Amino acid sequence: MSKLISDITMSVDGYVAGPDPTLEEPLGRGGEQLHDWMVATKAWRETHGMDGGEDNADSRRFEEHLRSIGATIMGRRMFSGGSGPWEGDPNAAAWFGDEPPFHHSVFVLTHHARDPEVKEGGTTYVFVTDGIESALEQARAAAEGGDVQVAGGANVVQQYLAAGLLDELQVHVAPVLLGGGVRLFDQLGPDPPKLERMSVVESPAAAHLRYRVVK
């Protein structure tokens, strides 16, 4: 069966976004630095329709990941660019523009029903109001045998982890301290799942840690 994999970048001090998000800095103060490793890669730039970029370990890592993924699940806040002043607007536009970098179906967890949105380049946003299990079921069907990724935010990763639905945890540790913000893991509680290390990939720009969640 296809796996459910969370794939997210955190700072050395455990944050996936910095403090005080604004419209100009939706990932909070310093939060953009988290993704420097990814944005610099050839593979990321290709996905975004751009030339150039570095063809290095990070790029290969990103490309392999993309190749295995058939559908994405994300939270409503990630869809519209993190938590911030626009929060609460159920019709907020997608953060990822008219030709989103996913090129497959993206299932957005939300409390507000909304028609699917077909974007250019193969991405369709499907809004799911009946919970994480329903989103996973729909994403698995859409992935047609490929894996499903949980792209974020942190609370969505935590929900799938707590529900025992996550198969793998990929944490990209960016070489940065943010000092505050949104934690990837916030008080998982008295009985957190066990992990088994799968791999550690070194690169100049990030440490890529990959764990199997023991069920």
Residues of the shown chain interacting with its own copies in the complex, contacts defined by CB under 8 A: 12-14, 19, 29-30, 169, 171, 173, 175-180, 183-185, 187-197, 199-205, 207, 209, 211
CB of 57 to its own copies, least distance (A): 11
CB of 22 to its own copies, least distance (A): 14
Task: Say if CB 149 and CB 73 are below 8 A apart.
Answer: yes
How many whole angstroms from its chain centre is CA 193? 20
CB of 43 to its own copies, least distance (A): 20
Q: What is the DSSP string of 132-165?
A: HHHHHHHHHHHHTTSEEEEEE-HHHHHHHHHTT-
How many whole angstroms from its chain centre is CA 206? 16
Q: Which is nearer to its own copies, 14 or 101 (CB)?
A: 14
How many whole angstroms from its chain centre is CA 185? 14
Spatial separation of the C-alpha atoms in residues 109 and 92, rounded to whole Å = 14
Query: Which H/E stretch holds residue 66?
Result: helix 57-68
Q: Which is nearer to its own copies, 91 or 187 (CB)?
A: 187
Q: Which is nearer to its own copies, 108 or 161 (CB)?
A: 161
Q: Which is nearer to its own copies, 40 or 201 (CB)?
A: 201
Residue 157 phi/psi, 5° resolution?
-60, -45
Is the backbone of residue 179 left (phi > 0), alpha (psi -120 to 50) or beta?
Answer: left
Q: Which is nearer to its own copies, 2 or 11 (CB)?
A: 11
**Which tokens belong to 169?**
């945890």
Residue with tokens 């150039």: 52
CB of 143 to its own copies, least distance (A): 26
CB of 197 to its own copies, least distance (A): 4
Q: Which is nearer to its own copies, 151 or 205 (CB)?
A: 205
CB of 201 to its own copies, least distance (A): 8
Query: Which H/E stretch holds residue 124?
Result: strand 124-128
